[in-house]
Amino acid sequence: MVKIICRNVAIEETFVSFVEEHEGSTLLDICQQAQGVTSSIIFEAYYSYFTFGLMHNEAVLPFLYSNGAIEWNVPFSEAYLKDFLLTHNIEKEEGIYIESGLPHAGGIGLPDFAVLWDVVTPYVLDILAVCANIGGFIALIQIILQPWKKKKRMPAPHTFFEVTLKEKWNHHQLAEQLRIAHDPEKAKNLLRFLGYQWLPKEQLYYLPKEKIDDAKQLLHAMDELFFDELENQNK
């Protein structure tokens, strides 16, 4: 049994349900069985730095860990419950918090993330790294994310930075998560581009937490500016 806490924003009520699950249960399967759920389901509580509204109408999760690696832009119908729980360290008894009852607003849907990379990257790298080769960084990202690009599942820069920016990394672990375990040198180069420094004693790459926090705050601010601009265009 898994606990689902659903806030139906249309009627301003919260419902708590306990739903039977099995090995192959998807997130959509489980949530559709919960009380208070309508055709729209939102998991914004679990993706704080990426403006989930960009993906609202696409019914996809910005990222999900599956079999030790990252999957980007995963449809609710393809996201396994067990992977979602592991990604966000959720206990079944604790429950999954969702929102439902939101209108299907239409709108822009998924933007051209390749364009967003060109816009966002210089600002983020200005915080993280010194004299970063922006063109080289974007070229490296394109190579790393090529398999997902072919599936039209390339992540937004906001999502990518949210996942990859943490205080310490083993580049082999990062390579596995990015599905480039066969070429860990690319993961090492990625960390160097982001300004990480090698710690010989720990055999890890390190970036001060304050730099990570500053970069994430910048991304969040850019999200807000982006939506303000959209609202002004639609007036």
**Is the distance from CB of 207 to CB of 167 less than 8 angstroms?**
yes
pLDDT digits (tens, 9 = 90+) for 107-141: 444 556 677 788 888 999 999 987 678 889 988 99
Residues 91 and 9 occupy one common structural domain: yes
Residues 96 and 122 occupy one common structural domain: no
Q: What is the percent of the chain with per-residue pLDDT over 90, rounded to a whole number?
A: 47
**Is the distance from CB of 227 to CB of 51 less than 8 angstroms?**
yes
Is 107 domain-assigned? no
Q: Number of folded domains in the chain?
A: 2
Residues 142 and 226 occupy one common structural domain: yes
Residues 65 and 131 occupy one common structural domain: no
Is 82 domain-assigned? yes
Is 105 domain-assigned? no
Residues 51 and 18 occupy one common structural domain: yes
Q: How far is CA 214 from the centre of its chain?
A: 18
Range(s) of the domain holding residue 154: 113-234
Contacts 24+ apart (CB under 8 A), 119-124: 120/157, 120/158, 120/219, 120/222, 121/157, 123/218, 123/222, 124/157, 124/161, 124/215, 124/218, 124/219
Is 84 domain-assigned? yes
The reported pTM is: 0.83
Domain boundary, last residue among 78, 100, 122: 100
pLDDT digits (tens, 9 = 90+) for 21-44: 988 999 999 999 999 998 888 888
Write down the mean pLDDT value for the chain.
85
Per-residue burial over 6-32, b = 16 or more CB atoms within 10 Å of its CB, e = otherwise = bbbbeeeeebebebebeeebbbbbbbb
